């Protein structure tokens, strides 16, 4: 490729990058702080409630979180740090995280190849279309910290392993060993089923290097040990067991035989596969991608690319199976499964050689269809987000007006905010003693708040 063509491709890539930044930033700018965001704006488990006002407060909060709620300290630290920033700074950083997420998948799929703006475009659009509950897991701050940021950290950690798998060239050093051990701890300490999938991928890579008699880098071993340690720290959190007791009691699992409990949990996994269209859609898309790659790339197909793709696809479903340890499987928890399946498809797409005119035409037609689909998907997220933004503006203005009048027990007389299922949004209710109402009152510095429908 000539330098001129390479420069043009870089410019196009930059335009795509800027375009998707603007699109995700618009949504971040409109999306209000609510529900769990209110809770994580405070030092966790302190009474009376106290807003987080420093990095030190976040460490105290996460210590309490570990003891009384759960072990996802890395992602919840990010959550509380983002909520500590001003809204504009928070929205820019969260938007950049999504762009970083697209880019790290692009780097994995484009390993050892020339700049490919159309691969970046393909990945960006498929993420918008294929990720479950997109507003809840990418735009809403607490959801984004748990799922977008957690998966971004894991994929960034996997990338050097995948790169070594492709090139078999990366130098060892004591500093690199220490760096990978520490980075491994943070990567494994993100999200339960994500960490299991991460460990699965790392273990398979190490096993592959061993079986194929490829020099096993020390940094890779130390990284795996770090990830295993981080996962163990997360799972050992006392808060996990406290929380599990309440969840098991809510579903009467404590009184059921072990086999019945196992069946109940397995059924939750089955329902995700049965009722979430994007799961079946991505599985189907992957099968088609494999067939197209295998038969359309007969003379240029790369066994390492196929194996790497299969590994991510398998890891996606390992993350789903790992949910057998949980009594519930909310759709948002399948984020890792969806993301890793998208990675597996992107790897194949990125290695497909467009060596004929008809292949190039088909590729352009496919991208055009995806762009049209993307416009519809974006509109389906933008419109409810704009509605939510306007409702919250009116609500917050009314709350501030009541506070100026000395009213600290606020009653909102307005209809419930109802959003599409992908938002998984729950409004405050007429019960001013409910969890969501009380934390909302604390956030707005009120004695109480409730909403009564007109």
Claim to verify: residue 245 and residue 337 sit in the same structural domain: yes
Nearest of 69, 165, 150, 175 to residue 112 by alpha carbon: 165
Q: Give the separation between CA 274 and CA 277, rounded to whole angstroms.
A: 8
State which of 353, 381, 411 marks the end of a domain.
353
Claim to verify: residue 220 and residue 92 sit in the same structural domain: yes
CA quadruple 116, 120, 121, 125: dihedral sign: positive
pTM reported for the whole predicted model? 0.95
Average pLDDT over residues 418-441: 96
Claim to verify: residue 7 and residue 110 sit in the same structural domain: yes
Residue 101 maps to a domain: yes
Residue 367 maps to a domain: no
Strand (E) or helix (H) holding 448 = strand 448-452
Residue 375 maps to a domain: no
* pLDDT per position as a tens digit, 328-351: 888 999 999 999 999 999 999 999
Claim to verify: residue 310 and residue 162 sit in the same structural domain: yes
Residue 424 maps to a domain: yes
Crossing angle of the two packed helices 150-167 and 87-109, in degrees rounded to 10: 20
Crossing angle of the two packed helices 3-30 and 117-130, in degrees rounded to 10: 20
Claim to verify: residue 286 and residue 423 sit in the same structural domain: no
Claim to verify: residue 205 and residue 297 sit in the same structural domain: yes
Residue 400 maps to a domain: yes
Claim to verify: residue 263 and residue 181 sit in the same structural domain: yes
Question: What's residue 1's pLDDT?
Answer: 59
Q: Give the separation between CA 143 and CA 163, rounded to whole angstroms.
A: 29
pLDDT cut 70: percent of the chain above it: 99
Question: What's residue 298's pLDDT?
Answer: 79
Residue, of 258 and 360, whose pLDDT is higher = 360
Average pLDDT over residues 151-155: 98
Residue 187 maps to a domain: yes
Beta bridge partners of 42: 51
Query: Which residue range forms the structural domain that includes residue 74?
Result: 3-353
Q: Looking at the predicted structure, is the pLDDT value of residue 62 above 90? A: yes
The answer to whether 449 touches 440, Cβ cutoff 8 Å, is yes
* Least confident stretch, 91-105, 138-152, 186-200, 242-256: 242-256
Max CA pair span of the chain:
77
Average pLDDT over residues 111-121: 91
Claim to verify: residue 108 and residue 173 sit in the same structural domain: yes
Q: Looking at the predicted structure, is the pLDDT value of residue 248 above 80? A: no
Claim to verify: residue 342 and residue 402 sit in the same structural domain: no
Claim to verify: residue 332 and residue 424 sit in the same structural domain: no
Question: What's residue 273's pLDDT?
Answer: 92
State which of 325, 353, 381 marks the end of a domain.
353
Total number of domains constituting the chain: 2
Nearest of 35, 82, 17 to residue 332 by alpha carbon: 35
Average pLDDT over residues 182-192: 97
Claim to verify: residue 401 and residue 349 sit in the same structural domain: no
Residue 298 maps to a domain: yes
Residues 6 or more apart whose Cβ sits within 8 Å of residue 164: 170, 205, 217, 220
State which of 296, 327, 353 marks the end of a domain.
353
Claim to verify: residue 300 and residue 243 sit in the same structural domain: yes
Residue 422 maps to a domain: yes
Average pLDDT over residues 436-451: 97
């Amino acid at each position: 490729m000539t330098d001129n063509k390479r420069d043009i491709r870089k410019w196009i890539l930059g335009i795509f990058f800027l375009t998707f930044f603007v699109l995700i930033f618009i949504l971040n700018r409109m999306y209000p702080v609510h529900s769990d965001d209110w809770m994580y704006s405070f030092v966790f488990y302190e009474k009376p409630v106290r807003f987080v006002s420093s990095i030190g407060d976040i460490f105290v909060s996460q210590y309490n979180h570990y003891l009384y709620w759960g072990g996802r300290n890395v992602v919840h630290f990010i959550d509380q740090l983002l909520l500590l920033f001003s809204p504009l700074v928070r929205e820019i950083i969260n938007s950049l995280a999504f762009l970083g997420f697209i880019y790290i998948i692009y780097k994995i799929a484009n390993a050892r190849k020339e700049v490919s703006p159309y691969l970046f475009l393909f990945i960006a659009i498929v993420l918008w279309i294929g990720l479950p509950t997109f507003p809840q897991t990418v735009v809403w701050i607490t959801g984004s910290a748990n799922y977008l940021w957690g998966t971004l950290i894991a994929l960034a950690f996997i990338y050097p392993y995948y790169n070594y798998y492709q090139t078999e060239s990366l130098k060892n050093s004591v500093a690199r060993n220490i760096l990978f051990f520490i980075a491994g701890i943070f990567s494994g300490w993100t999200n339960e089923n994500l960490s299991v999938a991460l460990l699965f991928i790392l273990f398979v890579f190490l096993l592959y290097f061993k079986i194929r008699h490829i020099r096993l880098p020390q940094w890779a071993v130390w990284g795996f040990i770090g990830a295993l340690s981080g996962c163990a720290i997360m799972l050992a959190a006392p808060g996990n067991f406290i929380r599990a007791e309440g969840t098991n009691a809510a579903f009467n699992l404590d009184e059921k035989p072990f086999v019945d409990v196992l069946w109940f949990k397995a059924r939750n996994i089955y329902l995700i596969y049965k009722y979430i269209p994007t799961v079946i859609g991505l599985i189907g898309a992957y099968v088609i991608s494999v067939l197209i790659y295998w038969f359309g790339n007969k003379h240029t197909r790369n066994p390492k690319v196929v194996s790497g793709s299969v590994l991510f696809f398998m890891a996606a479903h390992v993350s789903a199976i790992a949910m057998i340890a949980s009594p519930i499987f909310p759709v948002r928890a399948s984020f890792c499964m969806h993301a890793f399946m998208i990675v597996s498809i992107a790897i194949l797409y990125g290695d497909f050689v467009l060596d004929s005119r008809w292949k190039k035409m088909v590729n352009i037609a496919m991208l055009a269809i995806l762009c049209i689909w993307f416009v519809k998907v974006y509109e389906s997220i933008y419109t409810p987000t704009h509605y939510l933004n306007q409702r919250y503006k009116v609500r917050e203005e009314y709350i501030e007006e009541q506070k100026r009048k000395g009213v600290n027990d606020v009653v909102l007389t307005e209809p419930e905010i109802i959003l599409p299922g992908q938002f998984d949004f729950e409004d405050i209710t007429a019960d001013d003693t409910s969890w969501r109402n009380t934390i909302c009152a604390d956030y707005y510095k009120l004695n109480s708040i409730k909403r009564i429908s007109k």
